Structure 1
Amino acid sequence: MTNAVHCIGLPAQVNAGCRVLVLGSMPGVASLQAAQYYAHPRNRFWPLMAALTDIDAGLPYAARVRAVQAVGVGLWDVIGACDRRGSLDTAIVRGSEVPNALPALIAQLPRLQAVACNGGTAYTAFVRFIHPQLDPRAAPLPVWSLPSTSPANAAWPLPRLQAAWQPLADVVAG
């Protein structure tokens, strides 16, 4: 087993028009190296956003981020820093996680209608670290545990992911 590496996540990509906040757990190695959310070439996040929101997944990264923000989607992670052995969520060293300041961010998003956790680890971390700190007025906010877009979740092809993630499209269309 390789030694754990201390990982520091990426900055939030959120604007005041955010209606759905998509939260990963911690970006993988490819994303951290590229300083881009969902940078692994086999991650289905950007093709999924294209299918759900009609953004162009072929745009340069900064334009893709602006496009999802324009339709009301924000991006961040539950974990802001941690020790990890590789890219997988299962490689995160339990007890090393430092959560992002999500309660403060959520309080500043007046149009926020839902939080979408990209994978079970993100959802579990949200419930463990973030939910207990939320302002009681934010507590009724729906928090969805959605199947991961990671290539490690190969059992979920894009059409199946699209069906599971449809609530996001419904909110941003609404």
Structure 2
Amino acid sequence: MTEGVKTGLPLVARPDARLFILGSLPGDASLAARQYYAHPQNQFWRLVGSVVGEDLHSMPYERRLERLAEHRIGLWDVIGSAVRRGSLDQAIRTANHNRIERLIHDFPALEAIAFNGATSAAIGRKLVGSATGIRLVDLPSSSPANTRPIVEKTAAWVVLKPLVSAGNQAEIVADD
């Protein structure tokens, strides 16, 4: 694959989201499918499923998003677009960042932002700054490039359990 500008996916959340999970920039499989964490070896849906107590991995994508919304979890990425050959974060060049700080103002129930992987955490923490009252959580990457065993990743991701809840059936907001 040649180097080119890759543009991420839109923010997905209900207005009452209290937890956002932010990645870096979706990989090629996710961009092609226009779905967060679409690569079959990415462990994201299994990890979040262990947090919410549901088998999200076996659900159709739209149902996964509905279940996240019901648990008041939003998804987005710290990078909106970048030049990148392939899917690895190390290959990201000329990144344009999403306006992560707007989450604090646009989502009044927001309690925490979790960063999926080191690249997301490094960039995201700079973008958020010292937002008062918002908990920032660094998580091991769900990417297949992170070869830690899933049992270790799961043990780290369970820190999110107190931040999720099944809520009312408000409508999902998809921000293009």
TM surpasses 0.5: yes
2:107 is matched with which residue? 109
Alignment correspondent of 2:152: 160
1:147 match: 140
1:119 aligned residue: 117
Letter in 1 for 2:17: C
**What is the aligned length?**
165
Residues 43 and 151 in structure 1, CA contact (< 8 A), matched pair in contact too: yes
The CA deviation at 1:8 is: 0.3
The equivalent position to 1:97 in structure 2, one of 95, 100, 108, is: 95
- 1:35-68: CA deviations, max 9, x gaps? 0000000000001111110233211101101101
Given that 2:70 and 2:165 are in contact with CA atoms closer than 8 Å, whether structure 1 keeps it comes out as no
Q: More strand by proportion, 1 or 2?
A: 2
Q: CA deviation at 1:165?
A: 1.0
Aligned CA RMSD, in angstroms, stands at 1.7
Question: Could you list the runs of 5+ residues in structure 1 that have no partner in the other structure?
Answer: none
Distance in 1 between the 2:128 and 2:65 partners?
26
Contact 1:55 1:68 in 2 (8 A): no
> How does the TM-score come out when normalised to structure 1?
0.88
Higher RCO by CA contacts (8 Å cutoff, separation 6 or greater): 2
Q: Identity of aligned pairs, percent?
A: 40
Structure 1 runs of 4+ with >2 Å offset = none
